[in-house]
Amino acid sequence: MQTPGDPRQTYLPRMEWHPAGKELMVQWLPRQQNVIRVYGCDVENGRARVVHEESDSAYIDVREDFRWADGGRSYFWTSDRGGWRQAFLQPWSKGEAVTMTPAGRDVMSVLFVEVDSGRMWLSGSSGNATQQYLYGSTSATSGIQRLTPADQPGWHDYQISSDGSLAIHTYSRFDEPPVIDLVRLPAHERVRVLVDNAELRARYSALARGTNEFFQVRIPADGNTTPREPGSAQPQPAAVTLDGWVMYPPDFDARRRWPVVFHVYGEPWSQTVKDTWFLGHHLFHRWLTQLGYVVMSVDARGTPAPKGRDWRKALYQKIGVTSSQDWNAAVQALCAQQGWIDRSRLSIWGWSGGGAMTLNLLFRCPDLFAAGMAVAPVTDIALYDTIYQERYCGIPQEVPDVYVRCSPITFAKDLRAPLLLVHGTGDDNVHFQHSERLFDELVARGKRFEYLAYPNRTHAIAEGRNTRAHLYDSLQDFVVRRVAPGPR
């Protein structure tokens, strides 16, 4: 196929046959990942014609929700080009695109499309970015309606059958293990329960638990210089609102002062603030509350929350920069608002990108936290995966200064708080070299820290007997030694 450009400097990330069998649909991006083209490639002579092209001043995502429609005369496509992730029906040859979902709210994912009948099932938010529901249209004129029952707030995932009539539905909440059932669409009628997790629910209910809350905190938007699209429908805000959650100890008393352990991720790959059950870290955090800590998390700008294009792309060439500013402002605001927070006993921990954010906050805001724990951290972004890092930061040879200012290792000289650094030596995602390089920098700067290496473990640090239990035990041991638990 005669797609343009040096193949060493371009990506062909997705392709599939056109229903007529005479062309191959190819998605094409340059190495900068700021343009996406859909090519129709002739299967007989290899010629490639441009079917569709769009660009972004930051970066543009590969489309995972591509669907053929009307026998291949058009295709289903989602785009941020209007400032929100909307669904469009794009012509394969000639004609105008048809907008299928309104602006002002993001489509989170497209699960099923049948254009001829007008049926479309998609996941989205009700305006609360911590929750996810199923929405759909049952005909070309019905409009988008919520299909998930209104009496089930929380997080809903769906696997849709090929004809769109059935779905495997997984429903959970922050402190409620999932129930998996089979439902009939669009009525969302339960056919049968597949997994009720009754035993897990009973065991978890027996634990000593405090209450949980979701909250929002407003912070200034100063310092954010995210590239904006011309004519963007989203004006630059003077302040932004961050979502967060808090888990309280069983004996929490707001009249006393409590230590807080913050959990952070803070990159475009994932949210931490979702109203859904997340088994591993959730139980670790519940344990910390039993020991006498309040546990909190916040989603800063740049996390993949359904808050519009400008929110999600706020970290372009500012990974570790904007998110550190947001976290610093959020923690300061929370301390001012909540009299029970003991400002002298704040700690933070994270894994992978969250490990990098832990380092960023310890190094860039050295007086904010009393201790931090970084697991498998990205310490120098020039060492990380090219397609990921270049998407969010640019090509290193073109913007070397971006790679310097976005890497926590650049600021390691300013470490003041106790640090626990954890890494698996067999990590094939965030390579062990990241921690080795930081180790050398901290030693050269005369900075003391604690270091735990798990031999031949990968990024999950889960291989081998008792490994994950040992890891969580080591984390709690460090925080208890460095930041005293319990109220004062």
Residue of 427, 431, 434, 435 marked active site: 427
The answer as to whether 100 is a domain residue is no
pLDDT of res. 189: 97
Residues 121 and 68 in one domain: no
The answer as to whether 436 is a domain residue is yes
- Is 470 an active-site residue? no
Residues 375 and 453 in one domain: yes
Backbone φ and ψ for 185, nearest 5 degrees, come out as -110, 150
Beta bridge partners of residue 234, listed in sequence order: none
Residue 312 has pLDDT above 80, yes or no: yes
The answer as to whether 291 is a domain residue is yes
Residue 65 has pLDDT above 90, yes or no: no
Between the alpha carbon of residue 426 and those of residues 328, 390, 460, 461, 481, the distances in Å are 33, 24, 10, 9, 28
Q: How far apart are CA 18 and CA 75, in angstroms?
A: 10
Cα distance from N-terminal residue to C-terminal residue, the chain: 69
Residues 272 and 357 in one domain: yes
Residue of 109, 181, 414, 459 marked active site: 459
Last residue of a domain, one of 179, 197, 215: 197
Question: If residue 322 lies in a helix (H) or strand (E), which one and from where to where?
Answer: helix 322-337
- Split at pLDDT 50, 70, 90, the class of 3 is very high
Where would I find the beta strands (DSSP E) of 211-340?
212-220, 239-247, 258-263, 294-299
Q: How far apart are CA 364 and CA 317, in angstroms?
A: 17
pLDDT tens-place string over residues 358-417:
999 999 999 999 999 999 999 999 999 999 999 999 999 999 999 999 999 999 999 999
Residues 307 and 245 in one domain: yes
Last residue of a domain, one of 147, 174, 197: 197
pLDDT tens-place string over residues 5-24:
999 999 999 999 999 999 99
pLDDT of res. 67: 86
pLDDT of res. 113: 85
pLDDT of res. 103: 86
Query: If we measure between CA atoms, which residue out of 342, 327, 333, 409 comes closest to residue 374?
Result: 409
pLDDT of res. 114: 83
Q: How far apart are CA 406 and CA 394, in angstroms?
A: 11
Residues 181 and 264 in one domain: no
pLDDT tens-place string over residues 323-363:
999 999 999 999 999 999 999 999 999 999 999 999 999 99
**8 A C-beta contact, residue 426 and residue 457:** yes
Question: If residue 284 lies in a helix (H) or strand (E), which one and from where to where?
Answer: helix 279-291
pLDDT of res. 235: 59
> Helix, strand or coil for residue 481?
helix
- Split at pLDDT 50, 70, 90, the class of 222 is confident
User: What's the chain's average pLDDT?
Assistant: 94
Last residue of a domain, one of 160, 178, 197: 197
Q: How far apart are CA 475 and CA 86, in angstroms?
A: 42
**8 A C-beta contact, residue 402 and residue 352:** no
Domain encompassing residue 171: 105-197
The answer as to whether 168 is a domain residue is yes
The CATH code of the domain that includes 422 is: 3.40.50.1820
The answer as to whether 202 is a domain residue is no
Residues 138 and 285 in one domain: no
Query: If we measure between CA atoms, which residue out of 40, 37, 70, 66 comes closest to residue 54?
Result: 37
The answer as to whether 92 is a domain residue is no
**8 A C-beta contact, residue 353 and residue 408:** no
The answer as to whether 465 is a domain residue is yes
pLDDT of res. 264: 98
Residues 218 and 193 in one domain: no
pLDDT of res. 225: 45
Residues 313 and 412 in one domain: yes
Residues 63 and 122 in one domain: no
Residues 217 and 284 in one domain: yes
Between the alpha carbon of residue 71 and those of residues 18, 21, 74, 87, 376, the distances in Å are 9, 11, 8, 18, 47
- Is 459 an active-site residue? yes
* % residues pLDDT > 90 (the chain): 86
Residues 216 and 182 in one domain: no
Residues 249 and 126 in one domain: no
The answer as to whether 453 is a domain residue is yes
Residue labelled with tokens 């290496």: 453
- Is 282 an active-site residue? no
Residue of 74, 297, 352, 435 marked active site: 352
Domain count, the chain: 3
